[in-house]
């Protein structure tokens, strides 16, 4: 279908000053960002060398911190992220032409390399970036499993192994936080609610490019000595760690700024950008998943930013937040970290759950089971997840009197989670199942999430946790949640929305091969890892007792099967994107709005805002007759022809 | 999803009305403040928690005294004055009065003055040679927590100075005016939040100094 741009005259615009449509932005892109980032990092390095006392105890950490901050600021300057605030300061508000230029009008593929405000471009950018980050984390997982294939430090020394562990952790956490919300929250959610873009398009672009800026110090951690104490970087070890920790802290803090801005944007979009008739009980459930996650992230992530800033301060300014000989305490780190750390699990999980529920309705051809209950469950999860953090601290000696209450709140959170899970089963139950690739991932999610969820309830129990804490049992548990559930939800979302984002089907046959490999690999790897944990194997160790050799070897084999599946998945994504089968506008005959607009989706999504009169899950019900928009027989994407009517009635 | 009818419109209007945009931006401002509140709250928690623990009696090692109350309450007073100036500037903008630019400038200058007080506070943070580490560092967790609060206040004040100047420039160039004053309102809301946060940190650091343990 062809896309038509609006031909009507734009409303009154601020007067032009300087070159129209973008001005300086015309010359800025990813390349200028990298140049400016490197340049400012170099300047920061030189200045800190000449101005700071090179004999001081904290000199190295000061230089590293300033240099990495220089990179981040320089990169953002160079890509044009600060042009908006500067122009606002100068009283130069954007003209409509400026906005269209920033949204990438007539820029073609170049717009993917620019500070582009179109939510669909940002969604695709996040999609590619997520794959890169997850791939890097996956390679590290393979290196870890090579080390653990047999006992004895036969592959790398423990110091390098520690860096593998910590960086695998943080890259996977970053990758999974953005895995669903980034690509699909940005690309799909605004169209789902009938909006033309996100509430704050420039903040949207800013959150993506902050992620790119953050990736550089994170990857540079290896170059400057690695980190030694896992991604949770417990103090006081992290205070004493190499310069790599400075890079880590700057990178993660930058990422947190990105998620905070994205959280503000998503919540505002959901609340204020819904089209006429899109009441809160009519929005597709996926948007609830993304929004509850964003709201929770907005609350939780700043704790980690504060924890890391205080860590940098201990390392570079000589404060004592975490050092007991100066009056600090590691419990401060643990509290701040887990105040972020537990909610963050649900920040990662909720969008994936939303995607799985959305897919289930379409492929079971049934309304969502218990819509209001699911929304209530999601909100309940958000509320409860803010008061469970200390279940990670049962064995630390912090507030033993609170162990009981935290056990209770943690067990309580399984109730809303269970309710949402039952609603998923209720949606599939007695449906007319159309077992295409996206639905396979829903089934995989159901299987894995049961295992990941139930083992989590074991661990919330204080006596059991005293036994299991810090073992591979815990690692297997959260990998069933993160890989088995979240990654499956994300891959299901890829299979489901790929036709809308690219116009092509994700190849079904190759996709199935990938699905089964990843699914089987997850079972082999992590069931075996449960056993290693039950035998008492500690996590994050580079070697282990001979008794655990068999289960570890099996886990390594399983991990390589997962990797094989993921490589096939990546190959399938690339080849399908290039030369896959054309999918058309609505290949799954879904009723949500994103499938009613043409593919590729036009710049501002809807020529005319749609008006919604029912929830999106009326499968099997006859649709009321549609009217063509007066005077716009073919201008609008949400029409309306015999074919569309038939689809809606199916 | 059933779409009952498509609104029939004249020329496609791709901009929401200003009042809708203003509501949206207002929500964004409040959400940003919520995120910022978590940061300020964590710093206050850090202060109170470390004071409560007094690990190895190093909250206030020997020779460390409470921070200057004149400076911390002077900071609160100047920031409050600046908030007043911003508020009255906003009123002038909405009424189209001529003193709007100068009120915004006054607010920015007061924010800069408050920043100077913040720098003076930082200069007073006590250092000492730590007997265990043998390194000259900031003396104890009281001084450390003060440093964090002072730095946070300073960063906020510099941001306020930028916002105050921006309002002055924008009013001067007609970008913010009696017809389009919402940005001045957002600046005022954020300004009042920062003043409250600075006030809260002054209250906490005045009432709770010596560790009970
Ligand atoms: Cu937890």
Q: What pLDDT digit, counting tens, does each position of A368-382 carry?
A: 999 999 999 999 999
Q: Give A367's Cβ-side CA count (13 Å radius).
A: 16
The residue behind tokens 């992220």 is A81
Would the pLDDT of B72 be above 90? yes
Per-residue pLDDT band for A20 (boundaries 50, 70, 90) equals low
The conformation of residue B178, written as its DSSP 8-state character, comes to S
Average pLDDT over residues A441-465: 96
Residues of B138-171 as b/e, b for ≥16 C-beta within 10 angstroms? bbbbbbbbbbbbbbbbbebbeebbebbbbbbbbb
Which residues is B127 bridged to in the sheet?
B138
Would the pLDDT of A214 be above 90? yes
Among candidates A270, A273, A301, A304, which has minimal Cα distance to A288? A270
Asked if B46 and A321 count as a contact pair (C-beta separation under 8 A), the reply is yes
Residue-level pLDDT at A22: 64
Radius of gyration of chain B (CA): 22
Residue-level pLDDT at A78: 96
Average pLDDT over residues A611-629: 69
Sort residue A589 into left (φ over 0), alpha (ψ -120 to 50) or beta.
left
Please indicate, yes or no, if residue A630 is contained in any of the structural domains: no
Decide if A11 and B13 are in contact by the 8 Å CB cutoff.
Answer: yes
The residue behind tokens 């116009």 is A503
Residues of A327-350 as b/e, b for ≥16 C-beta within 10 angstroms? bbbbbbbbbbbbbbbbbbbbbbbb
Average pLDDT over residues B80-106: 95
Residues of A in contact with B130 (CB under 8 A): 325-326
Please indicate, yes or no, if residue A561 is contained in any of the structural domains: yes
Asked if A78 and A113 count as a contact pair (C-beta separation under 8 A), the reply is no
Does A86 touch chain B if contact means CB atoms closer than 8 Å?
Answer: no
A106 or A550, higher pLDDT? A550
CA angle A607, A610, A614 (to 5 degrees): 160
Percent of chain A whose pLDDT exceeds 90? 84
Residue-level pLDDT at A648: 44
Instruction: Tell me phi and psi for residue B14, to 5 degrees.
Output: -100, 15
Residue-level pLDDT at B5: 41
Would the pLDDT of A51 be above 80? yes
- Residue B32 alpha carbon to ligand 1 centre in Å: 26
Asked if A356 and A438 count as a contact pair (C-beta separation under 8 A), the reply is no
pLDDT tens per residue, range A392-418: 999 999 999 999 999 999 999 999 999
Asked if A603 and A105 count as a contact pair (C-beta separation under 8 A), the reply is yes
Per-residue pLDDT band for A621 (boundaries 50, 70, 90) equals low
- Cβ neighbours around A151 below 10 Å, total: 17
For A8-16, the CB contacts below 8 A with 24+ separation are A8/B10, A8/B11, A8/B12, A8/B13, A9/B11, A10/A96, A10/A97, A10/B14, A11/A96, A11/B13, A11/B15, A13/A95, A13/A96, A13/A97, A14/A92, A14/A93, A14/A94, A14/A95, A14/B175, A16/A95
- Cβ neighbours around B62 below 10 Å, total: 8
- Residue A336 alpha carbon to ligand 1 centre in Å: 13
pTM of the model: 0.92
Mutate to test the interface with A, among B2, B33, B136 (most CBs of A within 10 A): B2
Please indicate, yes or no, if residue A473 is contained in any of the structural domains: yes
Q: How far is A484 from chain B (nearest CA, A)?
A: 31
Q: Which of B42, B141, B169 sits opposite A91 (nearest CB)?
A: B169
Residue-level pLDDT at B3: 54
Residues of B in contact with A328 (CB under 8 A): 50, 55, 58, 141, 144
Q: Which of B1, B13, B174 sits opposite A612 (nearest CB)?
A: B1
The residue behind tokens 């639905």 is A439
Average pLDDT over residues A202-227: 94
Q: Which two tokens stand for residue B116?
A: 């100077």
Which residues is A612 bridged to in the sheet?
B3
Least confident stretch, A474-488, A607-621, B177-191: A607-621
Asked if A584 and A575 count as a contact pair (C-beta separation under 8 A), the reply is no
Does A430 touch chain B if contact means CB atoms closer than 8 Å?
Answer: no
Please indicate, yes or no, if residue A97 is contained in any of the structural domains: no
- Residue A346 alpha carbon to ligand 1 centre in Å: 9
Residue-level pLDDT at B14: 60
Residues of A in contact with B183 (CB under 8 A): 88
Residues 94-153 of B with CB under 8 A from A: 127, 130, 132-133, 135-138, 140-145, 147-148
Strand ranges, E, within A329-484: none
Q: How far is A87 from chain B (nearest CA, A)?
A: 10
Does A303 touch chain B if contact means CB atoms closer than 8 Å?
Answer: yes
Q: Which of A268, A307, A317 sits opposite B31 (nearest CB)?
A: A268
Mutate to test the interface with B, among A18, A327, A613 (most CBs of B within 10 A): A327
Per-residue pLDDT band for B143 (boundaries 50, 70, 90) equals very high
Decide if A91 and B8 are in contact by the 8 Å CB cutoff.
Answer: no
Decide if B138 and A320 are in contact by the 8 Å CB cutoff.
Answer: yes
Q: How far is A134 from chain B (nearest CA, A)?
A: 27
Residue-level pLDDT at A260: 96
| Cα–Cα distance, A19 to A9 (Å, whole number) | 20
Q: How far is A51 from chain B (nearest CA, A)?
A: 18
Per-residue pLDDT band for A40 (boundaries 50, 70, 90) equals very high
Residues 47-76 of A with CB under 8 A from B: 57
User: Which CATH number characterizes residue A382's domain?
Assistant: 1.20.210.10
pLDDT, averaged across chain A: 91
| Cα–Cα distance, A147 to A503 (Å, whole number) | 42
pLDDT tens per residue, range A285-338: 999 999 999 999 999 999 999 999 999 999 999 999 999 999 999 999 999 999
For strands B3-6 and A610-612, give the pairing: antiparallel
Q: Looking at chain A, which residue has its C-alpha nearest residue B27?
A: A268
- Residue A531 alpha carbon to ligand 1 centre in Å: 21
SS3 A471: strand
Burial-class residue B200 by CB neighbours within 10 Å (0-12, 13-18, 19+).
middle
* Residue A391, domain extent: 115-579
Per-residue pLDDT band for A631 (boundaries 50, 70, 90) equals very low
Least confident stretch, A508-517, B92-101, B188-197: B92-101
Q: How far is A301 from chain B (nearest CA, A)?
A: 9
| Cα–Cα distance, B22 to B186 (Å, whole number) | 9
| Cα–Cα distance, A608 to A73 (Å, whole number) | 39
Among candidates A151, A159, A142, A255, which has minimal Cα distance to A207? A255
Residues of A in contact with B137 (CB under 8 A): 57, 318-320, 326
A604 or A357, higher pLDDT? A357
| Cα–Cα distance, A50 to B43 (Å, whole number) | 32
Residue-level pLDDT at A645: 43
Least confident stretch, A34-48, A79-93, A562-576: A79-93
Which residues is B6 bridged to in the sheet?
A610
A514 or B134, higher pLDDT? A514
Q: Looking at chain B, which residue has its C-alpha nearest residue A637?
A: B6
- Cβ neighbours around A488 below 10 Å, total: 27
Please indicate, yes or no, if residue A443 is contained in any of the structural domains: yes
Q: Which of A88, A314, A324 sits opposite B56 (nearest CB)?
A: A324
Residue B3: which H helix or E strand, with range? strand B3-6
- What are the DSSP calls for A221-250, one per residue? TGGGT--SSTTTT-TTHHHHS-THHHHHHH
Residues of A in contact with B57 (CB under 8 A): 327
The CA-based diameter of chain B, rounded to the nearest angstrom, is 78
| Cα–Cα distance, A267 to A269 (Å, whole number) | 5
Would the pLDDT of A26 be above 90? no
Q: Looking at chain A, which residue has its C-alpha nearest residue B137?
A: A318
Residues of A in contact with B135 (CB under 8 A): 57, 318
Decide if B39 and A305 are in contact by the 8 Å CB cutoff.
Answer: yes
Residues of B in contact with A607 (CB under 8 A): 12
Residues 349-408 of A with CB under 8 A from B: none
Q: Which two tokens stand for residue A411?
A: 């067990």
Residue-level pLDDT at B159: 98
Residues 6 or more apart in contact with residue A1 via CB below 8 angstroms: A585, A598, A599
Residues 90-149 of A with CB under 8 A from B: 90-93, 96
pLDDT tens per residue, range A554-579: 999 999 999 999 999 999 999 999 99
pLDDT tens per residue, range A266-283: 999 999 999 999 999 999
Decide if A596 and B3 are in contact by the 8 Å CB cutoff.
Answer: yes
Percent of chain A whose pLDDT exceeds 70? 92
Would the pLDDT of A629 be above 50? no
Residue-level pLDDT at A225: 86
Would the pLDDT of A139 be above 70? yes
Mutate to test the interface with A, among B1, B104, B108 (most CBs of A within 10 A): B1
Per-residue pLDDT band for A625 (boundaries 50, 70, 90) equals very low
Average pLDDT over residues A60-68: 96
Does A523 touch chain B if contact means CB atoms closer than 8 Å?
Answer: no
Residue-level pLDDT at A238: 96
Would the pLDDT of A249 be above 90? yes
| Cα–Cα distance, B91 to B94 (Å, whole number) | 5
| Cα–Cα distance, B199 to B188 (Å, whole number) | 16
| Cα–Cα distance, A77 to A71 (Å, whole number) | 10
Would the pLDDT of A15 be above 60? no
Residues 179-218 of A with CB under 8 A from B: 196, 199-200, 203
Residues of A21-59 as b/e, b for ≥16 C-beta within 10 angstroms? bbbebeebbbebbbebbbbbbeebbeebeeeeeeeeebe
Would the pLDDT of A636 be above 50? no
Provide ipTM, 2 decimals: 0.94
CA distances for A78 relative to A20, A115, A135, A250, angstroms: 20, 10, 27, 19
The residue behind tokens 């399984």 is A414
Residue ranges of the domains in chain B? 69-119+154-213
Count of structural domains within chain A: 1
Residues 26-65 of B with CB under 8 A from A: 27-28, 31-32, 34-36, 38-39, 42-43, 46, 49-50, 53-59, 61
Would the pLDDT of A38 be above 70? yes
Asked if B160 and B197 count as a contact pair (C-beta separation under 8 A), the reply is no
Average pLDDT over residues A605-612: 90
């Amino acid at each position: 279908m062809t896309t038509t741009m609006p031909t009507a005259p734009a409303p009154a615009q601020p007067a032009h000053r300087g070159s129209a449509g973008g001005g300086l932005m015309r010359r800025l892109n990813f390349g200028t960002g990298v140049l400016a980032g490197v340049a400012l990092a170099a300047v920061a390095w030189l200045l800190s060398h000449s101005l700071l006392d090179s004999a001081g105890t904290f000199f190295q950490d000061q230089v590293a911190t300033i240099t990495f901050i220089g990179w981040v600021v320089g990169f953002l300057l160079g890509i044009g992220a600060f042009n908006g605030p500067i122009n606002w300061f100068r009283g130069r508000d954007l003209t409509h032409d400026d906005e269209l230029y920033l949204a990438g009008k007539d820029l073609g593929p170049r717009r993917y390399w620019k500070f582009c405000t179109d939510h669909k471009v940002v969604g695709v950018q996040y999609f590619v970036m997520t794959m890169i980050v997850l791939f890097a984390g996956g390679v590290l997982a393979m290196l870890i499993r090579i080390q653990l294939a047999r006992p004895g430090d036969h592959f790398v020394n423990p110091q390098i192994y520690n860096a593998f562990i910590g960086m695998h952790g943080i890259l996977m956490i970053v990758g999974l936080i953005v895995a669903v919300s980034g690509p699909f929250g940005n690309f799909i959610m605004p169209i789902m609610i009938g909006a033309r873009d996100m509430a704050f398009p420039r903040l949207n672009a800013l959150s993506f490019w902050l992620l790119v800026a953050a990736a550089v110090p994170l990857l540079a951690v290896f170059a400057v000595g690695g980190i030694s104490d896992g991604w949770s970087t417990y103090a006081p070890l992290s205070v004493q760690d190499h310069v790599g920790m400075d890079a880590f802290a700057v990178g993660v803090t930058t990422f947190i700024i990105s998620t905070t801005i994205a959280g503000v944007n998503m919540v505002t979009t959901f609340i204020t950008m819904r089209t006429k008739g899109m009441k809160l009980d009519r929005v597709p459930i996926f948007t609830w998943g993304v929004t509850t996650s964003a709201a929770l992230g907005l609350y939780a992530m700043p704790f980690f930013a504060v924890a890391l800033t205080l860590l940098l301060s201990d390392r570079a300014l000589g404060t004592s937040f975490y050092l007991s000989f100066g009056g600090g305490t590691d419990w401060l780190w643990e509290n701040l970290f887990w105040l972020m750390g537990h909610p963050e699990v649900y920040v990662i999980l909720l969008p994936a759950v939303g995607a799985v529920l959305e897919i289930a309705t379409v492929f079971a051809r049934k309304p969502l089971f218990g819509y209001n209950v699911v929304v209530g469950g999601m909100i309940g999860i958000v509320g409860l997840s803010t008061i469970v953090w200390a279940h990670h601290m049962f064995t630390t000696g912090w507030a033993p009197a609170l162990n009981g209450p935290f056990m209770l709140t943690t067990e309580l959170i399984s109730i809303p989670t269970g309710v949402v899970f039952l609603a998923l089963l209720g949606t599939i139950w007695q449906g007319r199942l159309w077992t295409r690739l996206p639905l396979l991932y829903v089934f995989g999610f159901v299987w894995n999430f049961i295992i990941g969820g139930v083992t989590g309830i074991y661990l919330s129990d204080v006596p059991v946790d005293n036994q299991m804490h810090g073992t591979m049992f815990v690692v297997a548990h959260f990998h069933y949640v993160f890989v088995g559930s979240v990654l499956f939800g994300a891959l299901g979302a890829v299979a489901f929305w790929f036709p809308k984002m690219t116009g092509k089907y994700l190849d079904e046959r190759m996709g199935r091969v990938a699905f089964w490999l990843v699914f089987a690999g997850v079972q082999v790897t992590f069931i075996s890892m449960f056993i290693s944990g039950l035998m008492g194997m500690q996590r994050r160790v580079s070697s282990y007792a001979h008794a655990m050799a068999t289960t570890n070897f099996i886990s390594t084999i399983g991990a390589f099967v997962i990797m094989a599946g993921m490589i096939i998945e990546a190959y399938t994504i690339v080849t399908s994107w290039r030369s896959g089968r054309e999918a058309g506008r609505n290949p799954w005959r879904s009723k949500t709005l994103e499938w009613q607009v043409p593919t590729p989706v036009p710049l501002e999504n809807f020529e005319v805002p749609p008006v919604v009169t029912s929830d999106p899950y009326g499968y099997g019900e006859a649709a009321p007759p549609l009217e063509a928009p007066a005077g716009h027989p073919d201008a609008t994407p949400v029409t309306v022809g015999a074919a569309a009517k038939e689809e809606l009635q199916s | 999803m059933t779409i009952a009818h498509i609104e029939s419109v004249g020329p496609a209007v791709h901009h929401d009305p200003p009042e809708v945009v203003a509501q949206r931006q207002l929500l964004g401002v409040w959400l940003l403040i919520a995120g910022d509140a978590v940061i300020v709250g964590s710093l206050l928690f850090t202060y109170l928690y470390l004071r409560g623990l007094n690990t190895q009696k190093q909250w206030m090692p020997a020779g460390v005294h409470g921070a200057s109350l004149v400076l911390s309450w002077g900071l609160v007073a100047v920031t409050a004055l600046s908030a007043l100036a911003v508020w009255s500037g906003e009123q002038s903008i909405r009424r189209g009065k001529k003193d709007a630019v100068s009120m915004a400038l006054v607010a920015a200058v007061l924010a800069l003055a408050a920043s100077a007080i913040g720098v003076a506070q930082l200069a007073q943070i006590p250092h000492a040679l730590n007997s265990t580490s043998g390194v000259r560092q900031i003396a104890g967790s009281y001084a450390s927590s003060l440093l964090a609060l002072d730095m946070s206040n300073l960063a906020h004040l510099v941001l306020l100075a930028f916002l105050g100047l921006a309002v002055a420039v924008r009013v001067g160039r007609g970008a913010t005016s009696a017809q389009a004053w919402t940005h001045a309102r957002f600046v005022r809301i954020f300004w009042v939040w920062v003043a409250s946060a600075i006030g809260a940190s002054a209250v906490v650091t005045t009432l709770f100094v010596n560790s009970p343990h």
